[in-house]
Structure 1
Amino acid sequence: MRYFLELAYNGKNYFGWQVQPNQISVQEAIETRLSKILGQKISIVGAGRTDTGVHAKKMYAHFDFDGELKKDLVRHLNSFLPKDIAIYKIHEMDPEAHARFDATSRSYNYFISPQKNPFTFEGAWVFNRELDLDKMNDAAQLLIKKGDFGSFAKLHTDVKTNICDVREAFWRVNEEGQFVFQITADRFLRNMVRAIVGTLVEVGIGKITKEDLVQIIEDQNRGSAGASAPAQGLYLVDVQYPKELFRNEFK
């Protein structure tokens, strides 16, 4: 049987999602505990591969298991996992469902704090220069399209295409006075959201204009865009799938 884990994690203490040699990852932490509980080696496949220090408020990963899952598996697994990783639900899925390839969209939030805050500094970029929200929102509209986003992609990766379908991109100010950027697309390139945020911040401080952003996008060259925003402000907040893939749910 194939199952989806619905989970969240604080990425501060992890070298990203994906298993890698000699570094602790979120994937490894979950696989180790899940394998021990189920009594056999379990491998999980995530909906994406968040980088070092990046967080997820809603992430999915699939695994296969032919035995019977106990109804209290979520509680049992959470009791073994570190405090910075939480499993919310386990879904029984269509046998062919794939956490990465069947996702129809992914959404990220990026948080910027305009002043030092002892309660949010680990989960936001502290940026104390004045930002023009209207200019950043105006520029962000240029991103809403299906096109080549190579100017915001990390160099020397193994992706076959830089084409992404960006469906929303906007800024807002939350109740804590933080600037929050939200972006949704069918897929994202490695480091793409952080590079976009860094570039839009340059618009917000007047370093570049909306017209400059048009040229940056057309260049399809990472060197044309702004520096990447720090990892700690980035959160994966949603992943969407066709509803027909979901069957039973284990809470």
Structure 2
Amino acid sequence: MRYFFHIGYSGTNYSGWQRHPYGLGVQQVLETSIKQVMKMPVNLIGCGRTDAGVHASQFFFHLDVAQAWEYDLLFRLNKALPPDIAIFDIIPMEGQPHARFDANHRSYDYYVHTYKDPFLNDVSSLYLEQNLRLDKMQQATALLLKYTDFRAFCKTPAQHDNTICHITEATWYTDAQGGRLRFHISANRFVRRMIRLVVGKLLKVGKGAISVQEFESYLISGQAPDALSVAYPQGLYLSKVTYPYLDLPARTNGASWQPAMDSGFWQKV
């Protein structure tokens, strides 16, 4: 029998979702806890990968078992797991749906604060820039919907069969004071480090270091910039994963400081 597990995690203490020989991954922690509770070795297949320090407000993995359990697995696992990993739902699935390959839509949010705040240190990225041109950043952001090949914004293009991504939404939001920013992007898929590379260049547009036209030139040519500006990991959240047969609302916005999109806190640039 196959089950989908709906989870969320703070990535601060982890080297990403996947198992690593050089750091602790969320996958390893979950496999260890599930093995302890279910008394059997397990192999989890996640809906994707996240970099070290990156968070997931919504994430799915699937697990195959020979026989259904007869106890409250959700309760036992959440009790066994550390506070920064939570299981929200365990969903029995018909057939052999795949947590990674069947996902057809993903959304990410990237948070920036432009003033030093000790309480945002692990949940948002600090860029001490008081005069970002948000209008220019949004102009450049709108260009993302015009192109499909993001080879210029892929860390390892040679490791991908293709670098084609169909972006359906890309928008910047700000609070009333302009000191906190939220970048929201949705697509059918993303290539490695794509969002952090895009955000890094968009921040350069906002600072006036590169023009909107230069930003578009990378999309046109497919040639990576000479200097890859990768935005910090702690501001990035995988916030929504959708399947043709499964579309669950996220159970959390991520860190408790994050106002919801419909709260009125975030204003579209």
| Range into which the TM-score falls when normalised by the shorter chain | over 0.9
Q: 1:114 to 1:37 in 2, by over 3 A?
A: same
2:143 corresponds to = 142
Between Structure 1 and Structure 2, the one with more strand by share is 1
Q: Which runs of 4+ in 1 moved over 6 A?
A: none
Q: 1:93 to 1:175 in 2, by over 3 A?
A: farther
Q: 1:227 to 1:112 in 2, by over 3 A?
A: same
What's the RMSD between the two structures over aligned residues?
1.8
1:77 corresponds to = 77
SS at match of 1:5: strand
Deviates more, 1:161-170 or 1:17-26: 17-26
Does residue 25 (structure 1) correspond to residue 25 (structure 2)? The answer is: yes
Residue correspondence of structure 1 range 113-192 to structure 2 within 5 A: 113-129=113-129, 130-145=131-146, 147-155=148-156, 158-174=159-175, 177-192=179-194
Q: How far off is 1:222 after superposition? A: 2.4
TM normalised by structure 1 equals: 0.92
SS at match of 1:63: strand
Q: Tell me, yes or no, if the aligned pair for 1:151 and 1:224 is still in contact at 8 Å.
A: no
Q: Tell me, yes or no, if the aligned pair for 1:94 and 1:245 is still in contact at 8 Å.
A: no
Deviates more, 1:120-129 or 1:102-111: 120-129
Q: Tell me, yes or no, if the aligned pair for 2:157 and 2:163 is still in contact at 8 Å.
A: no
Deviates more, 1:49-58 or 1:124-133: 124-133
The structure 1 residue matched to 2:231, chosen from 223, 229, 232, is 229
Q: Tell me, yes or no, if the aligned pair for 1:151 and 1:225 is still in contact at 8 Å.
A: no
C-alpha deviations, 1:41-92, integer Å up to 9, x for none? 1111111100111110100111101222345211110111111111111111
Q: 1:95 to 1:82 in 2, by over 3 A?
A: same
Q: Tell me, yes or no, if the aligned pair for 2:31 and 2:44 is still in contact at 8 Å.
A: yes
Q: 1:244 to 1:237 in 2, by over 3 A?
A: closer
Structure 1 alignment gaps of length 5 or more:
247-251
Residue correspondence of structure 1 range 202-213 to structure 2 within 5 A: 202-213=204-215
1:249 corresponds to = none
C-alpha deviations, 1:211-248, integer Å up to 9, x for none? 111111122122356501011111000000113699xx
C-alpha deviations, 1:182-218, integer Å up to 9, x for none? 0101111110000000010111111111111111112
What is the letter of the counterpart of residue 160 of structure 1?
D
Give aligned pairs, total. Answer: 246
TM normalised by structure 2 equals: 0.86
Identical counterparts, % of pairs: 39
Q: 1:146 to 1:43 in 2, by over 3 A?
A: farther
Q: How far off is 1:95 after superposition? A: 2.1
Structure 2 alignment gaps of length 5 or more:
249-269
2:265 corresponds to = none
Q: 1:244 to 1:57 in 2, by over 3 A?
A: closer
C-alpha deviations, 1:129-172, integer Å up to 9, x for none? 12122211111011014511011101365211011111111100
Residue correspondence of structure 1 range 194-209 to structure 2 within 5 A: 194-209=196-211
Q: Tell me, yes or no, if the aligned pair for 1:10 and 1:55 is still in contact at 8 Å.
A: yes
Q: 1:14 to 1:152 in 2, by over 3 A?
A: same
Tell me, in whole angstroms, the C-alpha distance in 1 between the residues paired with 2:112 and 2:120: 10
Tell me, in whole angstroms, the C-alpha distance in 2 between the residues paired with 1:104 and 1:226: 28
Tell me, in whole angstroms, the C-alpha distance in 2 between the residues paired with 1:171 and 1:186: 19
